Amino acid sequence: MLATLLFINTFAMAQDGTIYPLATPAEPNAIPLGTGGVQGQPAPETWFRQWGDPMARNISKATLTPFLPKPGKANGAAVIVAPGGGFRWLSLSNEGWEVAQALADQGIAAFVLKYRLFPTPESLDGFKESMNRTFASVTPAAGDSKKETAPARPPMDLSNQLQDAEAAYKMIVSRASEWGVDTARLGMIGFSAGAGLTMHCTLNSKLMKLHFIGPIYGGMGAVDVPKNAPPMFSVIASDDFLFRGQFGVIDSWYKAGRPVEFHLYQNGGHGFGLGNPDRTSNHWFDAFIHWLNVNDFLAAKPKK
């Protein structure tokens, strides 16, 4: 499941292909996580713009950016937000900052995790060529988009990304009082590769005690669900390159007897973030907030 996530966002690139260089933006609220660099990193962090959205690649220093609710609106819930980009770049606005701000507007403290990535060629042309080649190698044949036709790939080493997520979790817990966070209502939501990282943390971290997770258009393969796995809210569109008619991860959660809510939307494609115009997937965020509320994650639990 995670190996597939390396390739998913190349779909948008192959469809449009217009990428513009972008000066590194200021991130005044970004807090270094101090988890180290990337072994053999050949190029510095650079940014580009695609479909109007700023994106970063060759990230070798992880950071955490808080988006806190306005005074008097905070409800104590908190969410780590993991953007996607196939572990080769991060869609920091569409799947990070915008989502975090929407959560903060609902009274939820949100924290965008800018995690370390696998290296890509320094030049934009080299980057585009490498991603398009990768996409071409895993694109299903015509008429086979719903079949599991992608070739098997070796497991990805996500030790850096897991370390970054654990450092983010540890920082939030250590500063919970300062940031108004109830650590009993701390979850994680991720998009695309960020959904894969969310799932990887859920399945493998011995440090993180996530109380809910939200993998959004992530891999759908079956997993071994740990005992007392957190409630899961999952979203994908039927015309997403990743879906291919699979329900494995949903079935895994259900058979393990863990709470799961699944939204399969008629359309939306991949990488829709908070939503694209005239797509049925546009209201998933409202459903997510309702799900949090019904499951009592938006209200402080009484002390025993």
Does the pLDDT of residue 110 top 70, yes or no? yes
Give the residue-averaged pLDDT of 115-141.
79
What topology is assigned to 3-294 in CATH?
A: Rossmann fold (3.40.50)
Burial of 263 (0-12, 13-18, 19+ CB in 10 A): middle
Residue 136 has a pLDDT of 65
Residue 277 has a pLDDT of 84
pLDDT tens digits along 158-205: 999 999 999 999 999 999 999 999 999 999 999 999 999 999 999 999
- What is the pTM assigned to this prediction? 0.89
Sign of CA dihedral 223, 210, 234, 189: negative
* Highest mean pLDDT out of 1-5, 86-90, 147-151, 274-278: 86-90
pLDDT tens digits along 35-73: 999 998 889 999 999 888 899 999 999 999 999 999 899
pLDDT tens digits along 270-302: 989 898 888 999 999 999 999 999 999 998 765
Chain center to CA of 231: 17
pLDDT more than 70, % of the chain: 86
Residue 40 has a pLDDT of 86
Which residue in this structure is represented by tokens 């320094």? Answer: 122
Does the pLDDT of residue 152 top 80, yes or no? no
What does the domain layout of the chain look like in residue ranges? 3-294
Using the CB atoms, write b or e for 147-176: b if 16+ within 10 Å.
eeebeeeeebebebbbbbbbbbbebbeeeb
pLDDT tens digits along 206-246: 999 999 999 999 999 999 999 999 999 999 999 998 998 99
